[in-house]
Amino acid sequence: MILHGRSIFRGTAQGEALVSMQPISFFGGVDPDSGKVVEHGHPLEGQSITGKILIFPTGKGSTVGSYTLYRLKMNGLAPRAILNVECETIIAVGCIIAEIPCVDHINIDEIHSGNMVQVDGDCVSVEESII
């Protein structure tokens, strides 16, 4: 399946999808030193976002969250790419400064955790077989 979106930070990446139907706050919600989601009660709580194609509707929380994405990248713990329904300032700025490929206007209902996803510019291809 091929999906077309809007490229926020252009790049190529390939990896396993990790999907959250809830927004993610990077400041306070993701631990930059372990790559794990730590927001209490979040559907991804306890899961690592490292090396994943991280997929969620939109960002939320403090604008300092942009720096958390940057720190994850510096620590080698960043996701390989981020796909959103609607990207906002925190995620957009975070992906640009951390140089993480980011695409929005993606119908995330079509993608499930475990799918293999390939990102190339504004084009996203999804393999439904679980690797």
Partner 1 sequence: MQLTSEEDEMLSGLQGWATQKAMQILVALGEIYGARRLIPVTSVQIAGVSYDNLGDAGLQFLSEMADGGGKVRVQTTLNPAGMDIENWQRLGIDPDFAEKQERVLEAFSRMGVTPTCTCTPYLAGNLPGFAEHIAWSESSAVCYANSVIGARTNREGGPSALASALTGLTPEYGFHLPENRYPTITFQVAAHLAETSEFGALGKVIGEHIQVSKAVPFIQGIPIATLEFIKSFCASLATYGGAALFQMQGITPEAAGIIPPVEQIRITQVELEAAMHSLSDGTEMEVDFVSLGCPHLSLQEIEHITRMLEGRQVKKEFWITTSRTIKKIADQLGYTQIIEAAGAKIAADTCCVVAPIRGRFTAMATDSAKACYYAASKHKFKTIILPFEEVVRQAL
Which helix or strand (DSSP H or E) is residue 8 part of?
Answer: strand 6-9
38 binds partner 1 (CB under 8 A): no
Q: How many residues does the chain have?
A: 131
CB of 114 to partner 1, least distance (A): 29
CB of 129 to partner 1, least distance (A): 33
85 binds partner 1 (CB under 8 A): no
56 binds partner 1 (CB under 8 A): no
CA 131, CA 127: separation in Å to the nearest integer? 9
Q: Please give the positions annotated as active site.
A: 62
93 binds partner 1 (CB under 8 A): yes
83 binds partner 1 (CB under 8 A): no
82 binds partner 1 (CB under 8 A): no
CA 31, CA 48: separation in Å to the nearest integer? 9
CB of 98 to partner 1, least distance (A): 9
Beta carbons of 66 and 90 less than 8 angstroms apart: yes
Signed CA dihedral, 28, 33, 35, 38: sign only? negative
* Burial of 119 per CB tally in 10 Å (0-12, 13-18, 19+): buried
130 binds partner 1 (CB under 8 A): no
Contact residue for partner 1 among 8, 24, 83, 111 (CB under 8 A): 8
Q: Which residue has the tokens 């960043």?
A: 78
Please report, as ranges, the residues that interact with partner 1 according to CB under 8 A: 6, 8-9, 32, 63-64, 66-68, 70-71, 74, 87-90, 92-93, 96-97, 104
